[in-house]
A and B are shown apart, each in its own frame.
Chain A
Amino acid sequence: MVSPKQDIRIGFYVCHCGHNIASMVDCPAVAEYVGQLPGVVLSRDYKYMCSDPGQELIQKDIAEFDLNRVVVASCSPLLHEHTFRNAVAAGGLNPFLFHMVNIREHDSWVHTDRQEATAKAKGLARAAIVRVAHAKSLPVKKVPIHPDVLVVGGGIAGIHAALTLANAGKKVFLVEREPSIGGHMARFDKTFPTLDCAACILTPKMSEVGAHPNITLWSYSDVVKMDGYVGNYTVTVRRQPRYINEELCTGCQECIGNCIYKEPKFPDEFNEGLGKRKPVYISFPQATPQVVLIDPEVCLNFRHGVLTDKCKKTCVEACGDRKAIDFTQKVETREIKVGTIIVATGFKPFDVKRIPQYGYGSYPNVYTALEVERLVNASGPTSGDVILRDGRHPQAIAIIHCVGSRDKKTNRWCSRVCCMYSMKLAHLLKEHTGAEIYNFYIDIRAPGKGYEEFYDKLNEEGVHFIRGRVGEVTDWAMTPEEEGKLVIRVEDTLAGFVRRIPVDMVVLATGLEPQADSQDVRRLFNMSCGTEGFFLERHPKLAPVNTFTDGIFIAGCCQGPRDIPDTVAQAGAAAAEAMVLIDKGYIEQEPNTAYIQPDCSGCKSCIPLCPYTAIAFDATTQKAVINEALCKGCGTCVAACPSGSIGQNLFEDDEIFSEIDGLLTN
């Protein structure tokens, strides 16, 4: 170990990053300036420090010039600190004798004056040079990883990630909020562009999840708390009462047939309220787990959700010896330990009532796309017969694209799937009804395998495509043929005039937006969000399933709108990333832990402040003790200690103060 301030030999490198840095910062000037600073033995500028030759340069120089500190001024440490630490270690130095200066994100990319930017780069480099002299050799901290995985969300993303991990022999907990897994995909009729039936391709995977020995499936449950750190998370899951014992229920559904309500009476959530269900129900025929549940809000044995026991309980009679019905069930909480977590909480369809001019809610024959998915589905409320809310069969149908997408008043982003699912619905509606179908679009976005061909096919089927954003849907007739119809008022921008088109049915192609509680989920798992509210990936191109919290991965539409193939690919990627950690068996952590110095007065003020309960009090020495395995290096105790008796590796006082000095002196 090199003792500080004694024979410091610093090597400094400034990276051009192609033009990213060099266009705004005079890199040779920075290198020349730093070369004159005390302790600097060597100062170079180089086009790409992160390249193999760049890294080899560092290694060669360490040997040749006997360097014992290295500073690289380049991009964000988030991108390449790891690269350079490895290069320094390969050169025979302790990796923590390296310091990185960000002159790209913090300098060249955000400034427009080359002279000022160069001066700033010099200042930042100077601060790092004086700081790095105080750097200490530190050991890399290794922490074992718990091999179990938690997957949050049982849509196609969660299902695929859970199955991938389980098939690799990992134990998986799959937590789903709804009574059944399947998510939005389970409600779709067909999938574009191949038109294979969504249920046919999804339900085998669902039952595989239900039967897999490595998967613990908790439906009707949600995660309420997460503690710990990568490799060692403690998660609290809340299980809602189904009033059915999952172990005893066989899924025979005799209770449903024998319910005191002879006819289904309550809006069926799975069918978007278009169908009816009883108080005791199963979401859909292929629901997984095949377990019924009782809705205490409408069951006669409850009153406003509180058990009254006043019903004749014909369901219990029907259940008989199976004794699966248990009206006394309460909310249960379970605590589990996992090493990694995959968040796949999906999306929420845009609320079409936010665009009142399209008439949803006022005109009964205006539908959302998801409603139409159920309407054309053979197991839907009408068994696939497209009957409008007023009982008619439609002769002409309008499909309005971009409802709640590409609109600064609602959601700015393109929801990516609406063009394709609108065309799929156009095809299905034409097939089911033979009606004239009009698509109103801004642009047709069909960027996928077989997607453009599908668009072509729709054109050849005689579906009308009218380019223009619909102004309004109205029932106010201006001509006789518009009487009794819904009229679409739109500029046909390709023909060059405004048109009024009477139709019987309007389908709103709703966009995708973050789940209503996405902010809570974000906080729960310590993730970040973009401005639109979708969970933020660590890097948009190179780390698309990682988050800024190690060991937490994202997959599917919770990260941004995407179609099923992309979701499945991403879920597979998230599973693979989790396995990278699990199979390695341990993780290397930053040795940024706090430590108690001998002059601790034992005042105990740090103990309640530690968010990770890493500090305990040693009664024999009358001093605080930090459990290094639990310390996350947040620095709260360091700042709070009244006697300044807590130090922190990588953030020593002399390191920080010398850096500030370096920045302020000229």
Chain B
Amino acid sequence: MTKPPAASLGLVAHKAGSKPGRPTVGGRNGSDFKIARTIKYESDRVVSFGRDVMSVPGCEQLESCIQRGTCSGVCPLSIYMDYTPRQVMALTRADFKNEVLRSHTIWLCASCYACTVECPQQIRITDIMYELKQRAILERIYPRHFPIPVLAREFNAMVRKHGRITEMVLVIRLFLKTDWLAALGNWRLGLDLMRTGRFSLITERIKNHGDIARMLDAVDHPKES
């Protein structure tokens, strides 16, 4: 597994929690070498998970995946991923829910849609990634301190509450919930943004902001039933 250069991701992945059942990267040096079971039993599968995902509109084509690996080949971020996009597709189809939903891959996906454009089977891989991300958040089994799901949650929560976001507050919450020390490294950027008026210190909200929550609930409702 390639260790991402810290600068490229801002808030680094190395704090994002090691993947269960795998020796961590540091294991190469023998510092925290752990031996864990890697074989998968039938009980490690969550039967029908794959079917459920494939029944979502836009995700049906996954059933025709024959694992060419075009998606991984074109994905600009696959070099940072724990499972390649191809593997995520394989694991989803084979009902390995926990492995998929805990993977970094779904959170590293930048939605560039290269995989979807290139897939010879016309599988909408990016859409499947979104579906998996949603499920991970609903199941609360995303990597705890990984910035991308945290950002998604905070963003969503703020919109739900106020009807719009306040960047300053969002970023502070993001830093606090992931890696607050990293905020210190970005103080100059923050200062510049504030000086140019890009950072508001007052929480912004819309009129009748409660309606947003009701609308979102109405959208979510059929899914919960």
Contact = CB atoms under 8 A, between A and B. Distances in A.
A460 B63 contact: yes
Interface in A419-453: 444
A584 B156 CA distance: 86
Given A495-B91, A495-B94, A496-B83, A460 B64 contact: yes
A497 B40 contact: yes
B220 interface: no
A641 interface: no
Nearest to B69: A494
Interface stretch (A499-507, A558-566, A594-602): A499-507
Given A459-B65, A460-B63, A467-B67, A498 B40 contact: yes
A20 to B, nearest CB: 37
A496 B69 CA distance: 13
Nearest to A467: B67
Contacts of B40: 492, 495, 497-500
A501 B42 CA distance: 6
Interface string A459-486: 1101011110000000000111110000
A465 B93 CA distance: 10
B125 to A, nearest CB: 15
A444 B63 contact: no
A67 B96 CA distance: 81
A492 B42 CA distance: 13
A455 interface: yes
Contacts of B90: 492, 494-495
B15 to A, nearest CB: 24
A495 B95 CA distance: 11
Given A459-B63, A467-B67, A495-B96, A481 B87 contact: no
B63 to A, nearest CB: 5
A384 B212 CA distance: 59
A456 interface: yes
Interface in B86-143: 86-87, 90-91, 93-94, 96, 121
Given A479-B42, A498-B39, A492 B63 contact: no
B202 to A, nearest CB: 49
A423 to B, nearest CB: 12
B208 interface: no
Interface size class of B (residues with CB under 8 A): 20 to 34
Contacts of B225: none
B38 A481 contact: no
Contacts of B63: 459-460, 462
Interface in A493-543: 494-502
B43 interface: yes
A496 B43 CA distance: 17
B37 to A, nearest CB: 10
A464 B92 CA distance: 12
B152 interface: no
A481 B42 contact: yes
Contacts of A456: 64, 66, 121
A466 B40 CA distance: 13
Nearest to B54: A462
A496 B88 CA distance: 11
A314 B53 CA distance: 66
B187 to A, nearest CB: 41
A459 B65 CA distance: 7
Interface in B127-165: none
Given A460-B64, A464-B94, A494 B42 contact: no
Contact of A494 (B38, B43, B87): B87
A435 to B, nearest CB: 14
Nearest to A480: B43
Interface in B37-54: 38-43, 51
A127 B41 CA distance: 73
Contacts of A502: 42
Contacts of A466: 94
Contact of A495 (B41, B42, B43, B87): B87
A473 to B, nearest CB: 15
B39 A497 contact: yes
A546 B132 CA distance: 59
A479 B43 contact: yes
Greatest chain B CB density within 10 A among A455, A480, A500 is at A500
A478 B86 CA distance: 29
A455 B66 contact: yes
A496 B38 CA distance: 10
Greatest chain A CB density within 10 A among B40, B41, B43, B87 is at B41
B39 A499 contact: yes
Nearest to A466: B94
A493 to B, nearest CB: 9
B49 to A, nearest CB: 13
A340 to B, nearest CB: 45
B66 A465 contact: yes
Given A492-B94, A494-B90, A495-B96, A500 B39 contact: yes
Nearest to A459: B64
Contacts of B64: 456, 459-460
A497 B83 CA distance: 12
A479 B87 contact: no
Greatest chain B CB density within 10 A among A456, A466, A495, A500 is at A495
Nearest to A461: B63
Contacts of A500: 39-42
Contact of B67 (A460, A478, A494, A498): A494
Nearest to B41: A479
A498 B90 CA distance: 14
A497 B66 contact: no
B41 A496 contact: no
A462 B93 CA distance: 9
A497 B86 contact: no
Contacts of B91: 495
Contacts of A496: 83, 87
Greatest chain A CB density within 10 A among B41, B42, B83, B87 is at B42
Nearest to B61: A460
Interface string A540-552: 0000000000000
Contacts of A444: 66
22 contacts: A444-B66, A456-B66, A459-B63, A460-B64, A462-B51, A462-B63, A464-B93, A465-B67, A479-B41, A480-B43, A481-B41, A482-B42, A494-B67, A495-B87, A495-B94, A496-B83, A497-B39, A498-B38, A499-B40, A500-B39, A501-B42, A502-B42
7 closest A-B pairs by beta carbon, nearest first, are A498-B39, A494-B90, A499-B40, A459-B64, A494-B67, A495-B90, A479-B41
Interface of B: 38-43, 51, 63-67, 83, 86-87, 90-91, 93-94, 96, 121
Interface of A: 444, 455-456, 459-460, 462, 464-467, 478-482, 492, 494-502
Given A456-B66, A479-B41, 5 more contacts: A456-B64, A466-B94, A481-B41, A495-B40, A500-B42
